[in-house]
Structure 1
């Protein structure tokens, strides 16, 4: 039993190290996809058969890579609520919400403490979209055994369209809420896969256009009256995926005490036997303490990783400036929701308390909490 658990922990730990750098889609390809979408000529990929194959295919890219580790060995990142097993129903209010683009049945397969899954939840909550949650066991992953795509988040739309990658999920849903004349399959066809190999020779998949919204010219102009607004949103969404998320584990596992505190959450909130709880807490904490040092080196972080976290958060607040409540102005945009989703997985841990005390993020963060809890994006 101990050996089996040890192998699982080691596998999870090293999976985290596989996180690939984001692949940049060429401008020409983005414009071609946009033009095809706006004119309604998505080519062969736009046919119902091809779209169905794309939608149901699970051979798509992971959101940020290493999400298995972010959930199991990174589960203490933000387990500030009890882990809910099975399937749960989330309503914006007492009654199901009617989305701008019509009601959609949404089922989110997730790890509670995965920062990429947290991003998706932040988007859904802000827009008041009701959704079901299926909590996935990060070792066996039986809940997604039906899919050849073995990572989270996965969002199923109306039971037949599968969305993978947190940024693609957010971009395609936002596009659907605005472009009510387009089906989700049509929108999804504008986010094709790009396959490559990472530094360890493992095949990874990314998506083209994943920070772009697929809108016609009129809708794009209404949402982004100035091109600089769109560029700013896309820049900081990518920053959240490529940089901010990599600061989480090194900070929550910075010391042995912090690593133990993180895994104490798992043991208290999870379902463990006495032996499994002991093993998970102490062996898991030790493993992630060691792995966090490797992550610090991999991402060229300072000796005191808190300083990198403080700088990143303050850079974000400086970009918003003193005249705006959010980067989106009076209300959050997709960059606000992404950054908030990543940061909140640290709630309840020392790293989060230190961040709130030593940076200027507190007031923005509190505004984001209210905006998502009150579903202010429903308007």
Structure 2
């Protein structure tokens, strides 16, 4: 805008100086270049009112016009000078910022991601951990867990759902993570092509309920060279897949029995769920009290189904300590110096307990705390950003 004003001032200055209206009277030209009306030649002021001719000699009027024109030129010139000066200063600052800041991955810029989720869902938390770690921008749509109006358009009625560019739908947390990781690592593969490598399979479980499963969901669909780059150590790929599946098949089933272990813990858990979730006033009250009572009963059934000990905390402690032992003392993460997909999965599952008694007990009675704090830092700081460039 400053440059536009400066150019306008300069143009007006030249127009005033070059106008034939500055010639001696009688030439018959009246600011034709500016298409100004005849009365522009009149003097406004001195009590004469509109339409009173100036009593100034022509030479003074001409001199005043020349001075006015020069003033416009000077103002325009100074404006252009400062505009150019400001422009180059901004360019230097931008160059310095670009040199100092980490490069933004093309995936973040080229993919529009929308995550449909429940805030307290461990599977949704896994996806957020992956997106945050890799610095992939995404929009969150919190789904009402009662009515689920936000996903009524979807045949798939579970969360998480990740919409890519508003037309490509990714379901199942592990499929979302595997396909996106493949996309950010592989060269030239489209996300829709990658998604075909994770076919949907429908089956009936032991309860007679139809369930949807996905083949290959712990695999990354990479070339031999890309696989070697992601998994330089022998056995690291199988180790990652093993613990990702362990997080889904075992660790996640320890959450409910522990956070709903007693009536007091059940109420505290549902108070947290209602605060973090998307509930109406009546729904929130109903969820907190009726839901807490229901989940206290369900937690007891889950305890029996998964053959957990009477004190379910002991199963949680054992699982977490087994995870820490698998990482070992020589590695910061299971992925080595940086988290891998197993680290992100386990972290995503465990952090849904934050703020609850089960989480505090876990941190106090296991060896997980140092690893957990490193994972917090890695996801918060988007440490995987450099891995997300294509």
Normalising TM by the smaller chain, what interval? 0.7 to 0.9
Alpha carbons of 1:286 and 1:186: their partners in 2 closer, same or farther (altered >3 Å)? same
The answer to whether 1:125 aligns with 2:132 is yes
Q: Distance in 2 between matches of 1:96 and 1:161?
A: 26
Q: Deviations over 1:303-332 (max 9, x none)?
A: 100000000000000000000000000000
Find the aligned partners of 1:225 and 1:262 in 2 and give their Cα distance: 42
Alignment of 1:211-290 (within 5 A): 211-268=218-275, 271-273=279-281, 276-290=283-297
Equivalent pairs counted in the alignment come to 285
8 A contact 1:108–1:133 mirrored in 2: yes
Question: Would the alpha carbon gap of residues 199 and 180 (structure 1) be closer, same or farther in structure 2, given more than 3 Å must change?
Answer: same
Q: Deviations over 1:272-295 (max 9, x none)?
A: 43x554433222111110110000
Aligned residues of 1:97 and 1:103 also touching (Cα < 8 A):
no
More contact order relative to length (CA 8 Å, sep ≥ 6): 1
| Shift, 1:362, TM fit | 0.2
Report the secondary structure of 1:194's partner residue: strand
User: Given the alignment of the two structures, is residue 135 of structure 1 paired with residue 180 of structure 2, yes or no?
Assistant: no
1:325 aligns with 2:332: yes
SS at match of 1:368: helix
Which position in structure 2 is the counterpart of 1:200? Answer: 207
Unaligned runs of 5+ in 2: 1-100
* Distance change in 2, residues 1:252/1:96 (3 Å): farther
1:345 corresponds in structure 2 to 352
Structure 1 residues 150 and 97: CA distance shift in structure 2, 3 A: farther
C-alpha distance after superposition, 1:225-279 (max 9, x if no partner): 2340000000000000000000000000001110111122244456543x55443
CA contact (8 A) 1:251 1:305 kept: yes
Aligned partners of 1:335 and 1:124: how far apart in 2? 14
Q: CA deviation at 1:363?
A: 0.3
- Cα RMSD after superposing both structures: 1.8
2:156 corresponds to 1:154: no
Query: 1: CA distance between counterparts of 2:313 and 2:347?
Result: 18
Aligned to 2:180: 173
On the 8 A contact 2:107/2:136 being kept in 1, the answer is: no
Task: Summarize deviations over 1:55-106 as a string: whole Å, max 9, x none.
Answer: xxxxxxxxxxxxxxxxxxxxxxxxxxxxxxxxxxxxxxx9994345862111
Alpha carbons of structure 1 residues 257 and 187: separation in structure 2 relative to 1, 3 Å? same
Q: 1:137 to 1:100 in 2, by over 3 A?
A: closer
Question: Which residue does 1:292 correspond to in 2?
Answer: 299
Greater Rg by CA:
2
Aligned-partner SS, 1:155: strand
CA contact (8 A) 1:211 1:237 kept: yes
Q: CA deviation at 1:112?
A: 0.6
Q: Is the 8 A contact 1:108 1:154 kept in 2?
A: yes
Which deviates more, 95-104 or 308-317? 95-104
Give 1:357's match in structure 2, choosing from 354, 364, 385: 364
Deviations 1:25-81 (A, max 9, x none): xxxxxxxxxxxxxxxxxxxxxxxxxxxxxxxxxxxxxxxxxxxxxxxxxxxxxxxxx
Matched residue of 1:376: which SS? coil
Residues of 2 paired with 1:95 and 1:232: CA distance? 30
Contact (CA 8 Å) 1:101, 1:176: kept in 2 or not? Answer: no
* In 1, Cα distance between equivalents of 2:299 and 2:103: 41
CA distance in 2, matches of 1:268, 1:140: 17
Whether the 8 Å contact between 1:96 and 1:130 is mirrored in structure 2 is no
In structure 1, the residue matched to 2:29 is none
- Taking the aligned partners of 2:291 and 2:314, their CA distance within structure 1 comes to 25
* Structure in which a larger fraction of residues adopt helix: 2
Partner of 2:112: 105
In 1, the alpha carbon distance for the partners of 2:240 and 2:113 equals 25
Asked if structure 2 preserves the Cα contact closer than 8 Å seen for 1:97 and 1:130, the reply is no
> Runs of 5+ in structure 1 lacking a partner?
1-93
Alignment check: 8 A CA contact 1:155 1:169 kept: yes
* Structure 1 length-normalised TM: 0.72
Partner of 1:40: none
Q: Is the 8 A contact 2:255 2:353 kept in 1?
A: yes
Provide the residue aligned with 1:4 in structure 2. none
- Distance between the aligned counterparts of 2:336 and 2:361, measured in 1? 27
SS across alignment from 1:172: helix
